Chain A
Amino acid sequence: MMAFLLENKNFIAQLLLIGFVFQVLQISAAVLVYFERKIAAWAQQRYGPHLVGPSGSLQPIADIVKLMFKEELRPRGADTFLFYLAPILSAAAAFGAFAVVPFGTSTTLFGLLDKPLALEVTDVNVAMLVIFAITSMGVYGVVLAGWSSNSKYSMLGALRSSAQMISYELSYGMSLAAVVMLAGSLSLRSIVDAQAGYWFHVIPKWYVFIQPIGFFIFMTAGVAETNRAPFDFPEAEQELVAGYHTEYSSMSFALFFMAEYINMFTVSAVATDLFLGGWHGPFLPSWLGWAWFLLKVSFLLFFYIWMRWTLPRYRYDQLMEFGWKWLLPMAVINLLATAGIVLGMGW
């Protein structure tokens, strides 16, 4: 047993890394819920959670325990199989998408491993498309939840979700394509490495500086994809009670909730890799790159939450109009301009 462990150190390390990423994603959901409530409270001049643990920091754990002991309800006339499948699909897509996101350079864990271990679950040479494919599967969780609940609010939420997703997926893909053209690769690791170094020794070579419009489109479409305010139509609590997850309770609801926060985390992580130079940054040695990565992701997540409590929700037709008449043309022009520059200057 011991010999086996010593011989396959890299294999074991890889397994541990997968477990680590899985746990971090779960914990990030809990942490995000806490910060969301704290920032909301700060924006609205109240305390927020402050009773459980020091400044309420154990509140998410209390919530999870509460959800676990709640009764699992199912409306009469609901399609049993799909009703229980939907939250699982949502959560699986959320976890799966992160599998190809790199978050640091390789490490040997201070010489413990023979070969350096890359800080990502798996390296695929079409990583960007894989993320795109898996996140586009996530919408089925929402749609099926809405349909199988056999309730009008859920149904409306599901319909909105599929319409919204079709409208924003195109611009999303095109903003990604512009970055792929600049980097000349679909692998996230090569894209991040293409952003190393500085212009004039000061400005980091991040794609956000040459693709500001692309970054804007990516983040906007990302917010729409994750169903966050101001594009949170599938939920829209003032109109649809809770949208697609109205009829869910207990852990099924928790899965949807978790999936939403993990999706936020994934979109921020992908944006960091694509536009903000991933783990590259000044001052820190390269093996501490993941600290930069985490810092950038936290910044984007804060932005996400800040936006929710700042901007009011759009009207539904405004959302469609914005997606098709503004975002999509903008994405097309950005793509064509990038293609022209890449061809003309031989980037």
Chain B
Amino acid sequence: MDGLYFWIFAVIAVLASLGVVGQRNPMYSVLLLIVSFGALSGLYVLLNAPFVAAIQIIIYAGAIMVLFLFVVMLLNVPTEDPVKGYHVKLLGGAGPRHFGAVLAVALVAELVWAMSHLRLTAMPESAGTTSSVYQIGLKLFRDYAFAFEATSVLILLAMVGAVILARKEN
């Protein structure tokens, strides 16, 4: 039964992700990304990690994608046309396309290497059944405290930078 659910969520996640890059309308791209996040969250539930699943929806599908949507809508406002024939020409030229192809090959090579070196170990049974929140908290604030704090400083820096960029010159 779990296997069936895995395939359902996996297929949805992959198809939605392909749709994100595969079609032209930025609005639908954002929505398909949300669908993909939802499917990933389903996979987390199958891995006995309900906390991660809920956080995935709240942070990514909820907060971050609302911001994305906000930006896409704001960019669309001045024309007020329905988005028919709206083209994003980010990867239009030949240069970026070739660069993208190189990156894609690198990614595939990396994935193949990672998959072939993967040692499959059984998950500890206690991971999700007791209280994964408690365990995640312990890991995050004891074992990985430094990495956690370093990340928060990094995000704070980005925030300060954004505020400086957005400030009006007087």
Contacts and interface: CB of A to CB of B under 8 A. Distances in A.
Interface stretch (B8-16, B53-61, B141-149, B160-168): B53-61
Contact of A152 (B58, B61, B74, B80): B80
A136 B54 contact: no
A159 B74 contact: yes
B135 interface: no
A346 interface: no
Contact of A133 (B54, B70, B133): B54
A236 interface: no
Contacts of A82: 27, 31
Contacts of B20: none
Interface string B11-25: 000000000000000
Contacts of B76: 147
Nearest to A146: B73
A320 B166 CA distance: 17
B80 A166 contact: no
Nearest to A129: B54
A163 interface: yes
A137 B82 contact: no
Contacts, number: 77
Given A136-B62, A152-B80, A125 B131 contact: yes
A210 to B, nearest CB: 22
Contacts of B62: 133, 136-137, 139, 169
Contact of B66 (A79, A130, A152, A166): A166
Contacts of B133: 126, 186
Given A152-B80, A186-B133, A137 B57 contact: yes
Contact of A137 (B61, B77, B83): B61
For chain A, which range describes its interface: under 10, 10 to 19, 20 to 34, or 35 or more residues? 20 to 34
Chain B contact surface mostly = helix
Interface string A192-203: 000000000000
B150 interface: no
A158 interface: yes
Interface string A65-104: 0000000000001110010000000000000000000000
Contacts of A134: 57
Contacts of A33: none
Contacts of A155: 73, 77, 80
A143 B131 contact: no
Interface in A119-175: 124-126, 129-130, 132-134, 136-137, 139-140, 143-144, 147, 150, 152, 155, 158-159, 162-163, 165-166, 169, 173
10 contacts: A78-B82, A79-B83, A129-B55, A132-B54, A133-B58, A140-B66, A143-B69, A152-B80, A155-B80, A162-B66
List the 3 closest pairs (A to B, CB-CB), nearest first. A136-B62, A129-B54, A133-B57
Given A147-B76, A155-B80, 9 more contacts: A79-B82, A79-B83, A137-B61, A139-B62, A140-B31, A147-B73, A150-B80, A166-B70, A186-B133
